[in-house]
Structure 1
Amino acid sequence: MKIGFFVWEYPPRIIGGLGVYAQYITKYMVNMGHEVSVFTTNTGSLKTSEVIDGVEVNRPLGIDASSVLRIFVGNDLQSWGDGLRFFSSIFVNDIMCTNKFVNEQIRRKKKTFDMICVHDWLGGMAGSMIKSELNLPLVFHVHSIETRRSKGQGSKVVNDIEYHLASVADRVITVSYAMKEDLENHGWPGEKIFVVWNGIDPDIYDPSKIDDVEKAALRLRYGIADDEKMMLFVGRLNWVKGIMNLVQAMPSIIETYPKVKLVILGTGDEEYDIRSLVKRLGIEDNVICRYEFVPEHERIVHYAASDLCVFPSVYEPFGIVSLEAMAMEKPIVVGASGVSGFREQVISSGPGKTGIHVNGKDPVDIAWGVKQVLIDDEEAMAWGRNARDRVLKYFTWEKATRETLQIYEGLVNSYKY
């Protein structure tokens, strides 16, 4: 198939899990014999067109239209304040990508496409315009929704874009059964919604490929001794990831296991709050923060050097970081209440146990979960081995790509123009 792929972030610009997903799924689609043309954003310094791993990547240059939008947009977008510049960048990029796709690639260059896919509301306006202009088969990939990301206080405009896309799309693909149920509860058409779990590359995330020297050097960098436990958090530093609740759990954890040190990797709007909370709780010696995006190999070394990983999200449609940790044979503690794809990844009981489920909103429960892992080192390591086995069976990019393509092919073959 020839696939138009519209996504907000793509390498080398990766902000979070969506960028990682886009990077791998497109590469695997090409490896399986399909043609993929990605349309994404440009920071202003990136090439407007190039081929990466066989994937054609288009990044039209945009322009700030916020001063014009401010004249006629409604109160909802007006209330974004300086954030209107962000909406403007998305709006303009979707128009630019749509124009390049429709007028340059199809009408001028006579290229053909079997279908398009768009990812979250960020590519949604492009999907809607192309659907109206060309009536191509459209798949809407939903990785999260506005009402959940914003504690129910989000933008009506973004909510409306999401719901409109769900209405006009021919298929909706989401990342977990928990997310599918949530979408249906919000009135989305359940008969359109398919579930495909995300994946990981177990050849890259392989504990046997990280030597003891690298692990020791990283622990030394953070001042973590051989007889101390390294607990790792990786992710965006905002409320949905439960990071503040994890920090609040630390005094209880330290009281029982004083030789535990938490390493936090990530950036986000809670950086100042985390710094203040660590100081207020007097746990500076047990919490190490790196407020930056860490390159993939270095992140893999962090997983390898850690003793356990903790991701206490309060809203997590899927969560690739857990797969990264599981592939690296680490026992994990995950937030499993509410809308949580972690529940479908992490087995919390029985012979195939891989970790602990907790309520990510509750620091007491997070502390309990961490202590459960620390009780018995041998058992915890067994959970880690189970975790990698589970990843190999259910959560590879090859499996995710094949299942996604099967849905695409079913749509294209049955589509009535």
Structure 2
Amino acid sequence: MEIAILINEFPPNIRSGIGRYAETGIKYINQVDNTSMSVFTTNTGYLPQHQDVNGILVYRPMNFIQKILMRYREKIESSLLSRLLLFINAFINNFQFYRFIKKRHHNKAFDVIVLHSLIYSITGFLCARRLGIPVVFHKHREEFARMPDWWRRDPFKLIELSESAMEKLAAKIIVLTEEMYAENLRYGICPEKLMIISNGCEVDLFKQVDLNCSSTKQKMTELKKELNIADDRKVILYVGSLTEGKGVFNLIRAVKILINNGHKVKLVLVGSGRNAKVRALINNYGLQKDIYAYYKIIDINSLIYHYAIADVCIFPSITKEPFGTTVTEAMSFGKLVILGYGYSKLFAEYENKPCAFYVDGNQPGKIGAKIAYVLDNKDRFQEVAQNGQRYIQNCFKWETAAKKTVVAYNEAISSNENLMASNL
């Protein structure tokens, strides 16, 4: 099976959860028998346009807009001009992708198009309508619900229209949870199109880390020293995009409340996004010694030790989060986890026992109170952490998710062949 993947992040260009999916999920799918992959993705300006990455062919085209973005990105970060240029770049990329796929399709190169990013929906539409290649739509989230002010960010409803068009066009739609499945049924999507396949977690990677090993303890000590974390401070870890919808700004405000109330804590932020705004907020509150922010995604081998030193991991999302790669990682490591109400109840319990704590990400006071409550009762709540660890290790293996995904792709190909035969 020849698979064409359309996705806006692919290593080393990782900025969010979809990039983490590309880093792990695509690798496991490619390992399933009789599959071969080509990835079509964004070029940051410094990456090869054609590359073989462990047997996966990666195509990252360049254009003049991308060169402008590469040169002036820092000066126009988060501006209207930046968003406009990104939109134009994506528009051009769509036709670059389609031209490449069309050229190869003369030899029947691709059996299925897999769409992970709606910005490439034009390519998906053209491949389905003009080339007759079935499309599988991976819904990593409900796009219109990403931000509280989505209507301001998408005033012409381009995202909503693209999502609706792909839902009608796709031969199969993969959703992550039962909640997403029910929500899509309410939208009027045909149930035969929908398949529930949760993402996985590299559980073996976390199992290999022995916290009682002397070398691991030394690395943890060195990391705490590097981050200037005193021995008497509790470590709060957040991994993800630094945006309003993720609850990061309210988390910073919650840390200010905790510090004012005498709690000895240090927040570590791993990720990027609204970097300038996060930095300004930290400075305004005088939290330079109480918060360490990387303002970038870090390598998984380094991230492991950040999970190791954490006393609690928190993901206080305000907007809907049907899944969370970093949540599964924290749980797999046996860490206490606090989630915003935006998160799916997928992580709430396992075998009728709690796996995580939930909090209103809109309320800094409640976030602070929940963190203090969990940290003050850390030993008592170890059962919750251990149950979460069992849940992830038993139910979220990438090998299983990859096999189910390939089944969905095969079903899409079969349904497309049946449709074409009926039209003859």
TM-score (norm 2): 0.86
Task: Indicate the larger mover: 371-380 or 236-245.
Answer: 371-380
For residues 67 and 228 of structure 2, the distance between their equivalents in structure 1, rounded to whole angstroms, comes to 47
- Matching residue's letter, 1:92: I
2:6–2:116 CA contact under 8 A, matched in 1: yes
Number of matched pairs: 398
Work out whether 1:137 is the aligned partner of 2:134.
yes
- Matching residue's letter, 1:115: V
For residues 260 and 412 of structure 1, the distance between their equivalents in structure 2, rounded to whole angstroms, comes to 53
For residues 228 and 207 of structure 1, the distance between their equivalents in structure 2, rounded to whole angstroms, comes to 27
Q: Residue by residue, what CA displacement relative to the aligned partner does 1:306-339 show, whole Å, maximum 9, x if unpaired? A: 11101001122312111111112111100124xx
Structure 1 partner of 2:71: none
Structure 1 partner of 2:74: none
Structure 1 partner of 2:105: 106
Structure 1 partner of 2:96: 96
1:116–1:138 CA contact under 8 A, matched in 2: yes
SS at match of 2:204: coil
Structure 2 partner of 1:304: 308
| Change in 2 beyond 3 A, CA 1:175/1:259 | same
Q: Residue by residue, what CA displacement relative to the aligned partner does 1:222-261 show, whole Å, maximum 9, x if unpaired? A: 2222332111011111111101111122244345562221
Mapping of residues 200-215 of structure 1, within 5 Å = 200-206=201-207, 208-209=209-210, 211-215=216-220
1:62–1:96 CA contact under 8 A, matched in 2: no
- Matching residue's letter, 1:369: K
Work out whether 1:344 is the aligned partner of 2:346.
yes
* Match 2:243 to one of 238, 246, 252: 238
For residues 331 and 84 of structure 1, the distance between their equivalents in structure 2, rounded to whole angstroms, comes to 41
Structure 2 partner of 1:42: 43
1:359–1:365 CA contact under 8 A, matched in 2: yes
For residues 335 and 66 of structure 2, the distance between their equivalents in structure 1, rounded to whole angstroms, comes to 46
Q: Residue by residue, what CA displacement relative to the aligned partner does 1:136-168 show, whole Å, maximum 9, x if unpaired? A: 221111113442123231321222111111111
Consecutive unaligned residues of structure 1, counting only runs of 5 or more, are 68-78
SS at match of 1:14: coil
Structure 1 partner of 2:147: 150
Q: Residue by residue, what CA displacement relative to the aligned partner does 1:350-401 show, whole Å, maximum 9, x if unpaired? A: 8743220112112232223212321323233333322221111111211221
Structure 1 partner of 2:113: 116
* Residue 183 of structure 1: how far off its partner (Å): 4.0
For residues 66 and 368 of structure 2, the distance between their equivalents in structure 1, rounded to whole angstroms, comes to 47
- Matching residue's letter, 1:335: G
2:6–2:117 CA contact under 8 A, matched in 1: no
Mapping of residues 11-410 of structure 1, within 5 Å = 11-33=11-33, 34-64=35-65, 81-103=81-103, 105-107=104-106, 110-151=107-148, 152-153=150-151, 154-155=153-154, 156-186=157-187, 188-206=189-207, 208-209=209-210, 211-254=216-259, 258-269=263-274, 271-315=275-319, 316-337=321-342, 340-341=343-344, 343-347=345-349, 352-410=353-411
| Change in 2 beyond 3 A, CA 1:184/1:99 | same
For residues 138 and 175 of structure 1, the distance between their equivalents in structure 2, rounded to whole angstroms, comes to 18
* Residue 22 of structure 1: how far off its partner (Å): 1.8
For residues 281 and 80 of structure 2, the distance between their equivalents in structure 1, rounded to whole angstroms, comes to 28
| Change in 2 beyond 3 A, CA 1:81/1:274 | closer
SS at match of 2:273: coil
For residues 157 and 63 of structure 1, the distance between their equivalents in structure 2, rounded to whole angstroms, comes to 23
SS at match of 2:198: coil
Structure 1 partner of 2:75: none
- Matching residue's letter, 1:387: G
Give the root-mean-square deviation of aligned CA atoms.
2.5
1:175–1:196 CA contact under 8 A, matched in 2: yes
For residues 226 and 45 of structure 1, the distance between their equivalents in structure 2, rounded to whole angstroms, comes to 41
TM-score (norm 1): 0.88
1:63–1:92 CA contact under 8 A, matched in 2: no
* Residue 410 of structure 1: how far off its partner (Å): 2.3
Task: Indicate the larger mover: 199-208 or 320-329.
Answer: 199-208
- Matching residue's letter, 1:159: E
Instruction: Say which structure, 1 or 2, has more relative contact order (CA 8 Å, 6+ apart).
Output: 2
For residues 281 and 66 of structure 1, the distance between their equivalents in structure 2, rounded to whole angstroms, comes to 37
- Matching residue's letter, 2:372: K
SS at match of 1:172: strand
Q: Residue by residue, what CA displacement relative to the aligned partner does 1:178-218 show, whole Å, maximum 9, x if unpaired? A: 33344445555555332211111112233625611111111
For residues 189 and 66 of structure 1, the distance between their equivalents in structure 2, rounded to whole angstroms, comes to 42
For residues 38 and 44 of structure 1, the distance between their equivalents in structure 2, rounded to whole angstroms, comes to 17
| Change in 2 beyond 3 A, CA 1:94/1:246 | same
| Change in 2 beyond 3 A, CA 1:208/1:382 | farther
SS at match of 2:114: strand
1:234–1:311 CA contact under 8 A, matched in 2: yes
- Matching residue's letter, 1:235: G
